[in-house]
Amino acid sequence: QRALERDEHTFGTPIDQSLSQDFDFEKNLALFDKEAVWQEINSLKPDI
Amino acid sequence: FMEKHLRDPYEINLMEELTLKGVTQYYAFVQERQKVHCLNTLFSKLQITQSIIFCNSTQRVELLAKKITDLGYCCYYIHAKMAQAHRNRVFHDFRAGLCRNLVSSDLFTRGIDVQAVNVVINFDFPKMAETYLHRIGRSGRFGHLGIAINLITYEDRFNLHRIEQELGTEIKPIPKVIDPSLYVARPEDN
C-alpha cells in the first residue's frame, strides 16, 4: 500500500507544461544541508 | 596490511573487479513527485551517449519507462520478472545502440560493461552499498569515463550516508554545469 502511494507520488502527475521549464537543481540542493545532516546522523551513533 | 592498503575490506570482498574510478558521482535533492521533472531536465541538459536508469522495483521500472516514452524519449526496460530470453534480446538491442536509454531493476551482477553508457541515473537510490557498486561500478578499464547521478529524497539520507562510508567515496551535489570532459568522449579517443 505504501509502495502504491509512493508510485502515485512519483508517476501520478500528468505530463504538462510545467515540465518544459528546467528543474531547479540549486534551489532544491539548498533544502538539504548535507554537512548538517551528516553531523546529525553521526551524533546518533554510539561512540565505539 | 589490511589497514594500510584496504580502505574497506567489505567492499573488496564483494566485488574485487568493480571500481568507482573514473565515475564522477553527483546527487540531486528531490521530492518523489519531482523525480520525473528532474529526470526530464537531465535528459535535456546532459550529453548522453547511452544511459541506464535504475529503479528499486519492477513496477517502478515499467511506470518510469512509460513516462519516459510519453516524454518523447526512446527507452527500453528490463527487470527481474521478465523472461530471460526477452531480457537478453532487449539488452542485446540496447548494446547495439538501437535505443539510447534503458530503465532497469537490479540485474547486473558484474556492473555495466556497455562501452557507450556514459550516464547512469539512480532514479531510486539503493539501500545497499553492494547494489550501488553493481549499478555504478565499472570493471576498471583505464579511461572509461562516466557520471552517475543519484536522485536523493530526504528519506534516502541514511542510505546515502552509509553507502558513502562503506564504499569510502563521496557523492557531491550536482553542479550548475557538468564539465563534459568528465563523461563525454572526445572524437579522437574513439
| Contact residues, chain A, for B178 at CB < 8 Å | none
pLDDT at B15: 44
Place of cell 554510539: A46
User: In chain A, which residue's Cα lies nearest the Cα of B60?
Assistant: A7
Please answer yes or no on whether A25 and B28 come within 8 Å at the CB atom.
yes
pLDDT of residue A4 exceeding 50, the answer is yes
ipTM tops 0.90: no
**pLDDT tens across B49-85, in order?**
999 999 999 999 999 999 999 999 999 999 999 999 9
pLDDT at B14: 47
Mean pLDDT of all residues in A17-26: 88
pLDDT of residue B110 exceeding 80, the answer is no
Q: Distance of alpha carbon B119 from its chain centroid, rounded?
A: 7
At B21, is the secondary structure helix, strand, or coil? coil
Question: pLDDT confidence of B168, banded at 50, 70, 90?
Answer: very high
pLDDT at B13: 42
DSSP code of residue A28? H
What whole-number distance in Å separates Cα of residue B184 and Cα of residue B182? 6
Of the candidates A20, A26, A7, A28, the one whose C-alpha atom is nearest the C-alpha of residue B37 is A20
Structural contact between residues B103 and B129, judged by C-beta atoms closer than 8 angstroms? no
The overall average pLDDT reported for chain B is 88
pLDDT of residue B18 exceeding 60, the answer is yes
- Give the type of residue at B76: Y
Q: Could you tell me if B69 lies within 8 Å of chain A, comparing CB atoms? A: no
- Which of B33, B57, B60 faces A13 most closely, judged by CB atoms? B33
This prediction's pTM: 0.88
Burial B129-139 (b: 16+ CB within 10 A, else e): bbbbbbbbbbe
The overall average pLDDT reported for chain A is 88
What whole-number distance in Å separates Cα of residue B158 and Cα of residue B91? 33
| Contact residues, chain A, for B41 at CB < 8 Å | 22-23, 25
Mean pLDDT of all residues in B109-137: 89
Please answer yes or no on whether A22 and B45 come within 8 Å at the CB atom.
yes
Please answer yes or no on whether B70 and A15 come within 8 Å at the CB atom.
yes
Please answer yes or no on whether A3 and B36 come within 8 Å at the CB atom.
no
